[in-house]
Structure 1
């Protein structure tokens, strides 16, 4: 009998288990747990009976509900960009005695119904989502599961109650463009990331800030959205270099985009930086491998991931943590891909 009571009060039972036994959906169990309307008296009584039988308590109400897992959700698993983030997340999670569960959205929105149901069944202490958009209703569903969520460079506007970690992208964009303007460039192209992604828009805003500060007119033809990958750098640079008045410099939204800029310049027989100056963004290992090595804005990717995991840990394990937006500083790393434009030097 004692063994039976022990089994029934096991903290490993999840609301997914309760939902399956009751033959209802996860949101229905969540409504019962939170005393919300929208559940019939008969269903509410059946679900509550199962909750009582299993001794279920809401996540976060007792230390024994900690499972030591934090979900870390990335837009993609590109090794150059993702590796510093994964390293930072894993290091910080280990300090808290937890492990990370790695998921890629493959460019899609994070938090579809199947993923949330799997999360409820498997259980996790917190979720950190990097450069992705939450699916419609995902924030509410995660809230019902009492799962803390921290966002890193979210797409669009983040829900007000979710902590956000980002880099000073606007300042970085301004820094990169100021550097080129001081060298004498007046036709500067920009290839930023996807439209609507906060970091993409901020880098573009910094580019525009620098032009306005120096009194340089903005040319819409020199401002392009991409996808942060080499192919968009290649295609956008081909188009710009075919203009009647091509740019003498290009600010690429990432170092990988900059590698595509290099490829397009080579196609036309142009030299970097003698014929075309290039500045990137991120300062990942690729920037040192390019020839010539790339001048770039350093984004503290590893520190951003660590800060996000640290915030998630504080909320999940201590019941409190930071709120609002945490912005980490960027800096310019000077290498060999920029110089004065040829005619200015002459």
Structure 2
């Protein structure tokens, strides 16, 4: 970018500038800014890098006296995990570019705190909220609508109603890819550890796993499916149950990277080596997945991009823009590392799993 002569104001970066640098059309740049999902991951990353490099900011409309303050809220169950921090950084990136402050509330699944965030949101005059893994009640949703407070749900516990904007990932496809990878390596006894069974994303990942088995002509075995809490301890306990079976799995698909570390611990305690005795696939591709021993094969969930998309979707609602579709789903991607291999030679090749 050419230097600005002394004494002159720095020229404002336009969409045309970004489009020219990225070798794409202006509408493509606009789609990335507005959180549309019909852009390839590679193109999206290239445009987002340029938006950050040029410090692009949307033109701000003149503020009316009736408008709310320069704040948006992020409400999240837990913030003490790499998962939550990835989403937070995405939301923060968009808020900063738009000149907005960000208020973060961690509710820890406690009813008292869940009520408090709504009271705080209203009293602060926030422009709107991004709700991450919040079990939004009908009463809370009605209150937000009554006060015309825009909100976006990220990876909700249940399927959001059609009138609730939401952002998620292709969880079913991710679960399918994980199981399909293990099947192609030759595994037939494949365990699965989901998160909380009532959560939509957990059910979708396990459903994808089952669909991959059925596509390969295998009958899913209910005994090989367990549910945890997406945390290390839940993965450890569920994996210990699976490995204690009379006919244990030779591979386990864990519904989160944190649960996968629990599977690693269960394998160590049982004297198994990964991947020689047990293959493991996680879900999320958190930053530490590449540093586990061995590095973890996992399904990458674009958490940072989900935060970015949710924040941009919220800003569109704040600006009164029409949403072409209330639901955005970003693609997952299998990342193969060293925690998966062919099953042990001393394990007989079973044609089908018994139900």
TM-score category of the 2 structures, normalised to the smaller one? 0.7 to 0.9
Match of 2:122 in 1: 120
**Counterparts of 1:244 and 1:114, CA distance in 2:** 49
Structure 2, unpaired ranges of 5+: 1-62, 349-355
Residues 172, 204 of structure 2: 8 Å contact kept: yes
Cα shift readout 1:248-297 (whole Å, capped 9, x = no counterpart): 00000011100000000000110000000000000011211210000000
Please show how residues 217-296 of structure 1 align to structure 2 within 5 Å.
217-296=219-298
The Cα of 1:321 is off from its aligned counterpart by: 3.6
Asked whether the equivalents of residues 193 and 200 of structure 1 are also in contact (C-alpha less than 8 Å), the reply is yes
TM-score (norm 1): 0.79
- Equivalent position SS for 2:152: strand
Worse-superposed segment, 192-201 or 292-301: 192-201
Matched, 1:187 2:197: no
CA drift at 1:312: 0.3
Match of 1:67 in 2: 69
Q: 1:108 to 1:167 in 2, by over 3 A?
A: farther
CA distance in 2, matches of 1:110, 1:315: 28
Q: Name the CA shift for 1:83/1:295 in 2 (closer, same or farther; >3 Å).
A: same
- Bigger CA radius of gyration: 1
Q: Deviations over 1:287-337 (max 9, x none)?
A: 112100000000000000100000001111244345421110011111100
Look up the match of 1:331.
333
Aligned residue number for residue 153 of structure 2: 151
3-state SS, counterpart of residue 251 of structure 1: strand
Relative to its length, the structure with more helix (as a share) is 1
SS at match of 1:175: helix
The 8 Å contact of residues 277 and 337 in structure 1, kept in 2 or not, is answered as yes
The answer on whether the counterparts of 2:236 and 2:262 sit within 8 Å (CA) in structure 1 is: yes
Using the alignment, how far apart are the partners of 1:297 and 1:67 within structure 2? Answer: 39
Q: 1:62: how far off?
A: 4.1
What SS is found at the alignment partner of 2:345?
A: helix
Measure the CA separation in 1 of the matches of 2:248 and 2:107.
37
1:116 Cα offset (Å): 2.2
CA–CA separation in structure 2 for the residues paired with 1:133 and 1:313: 22
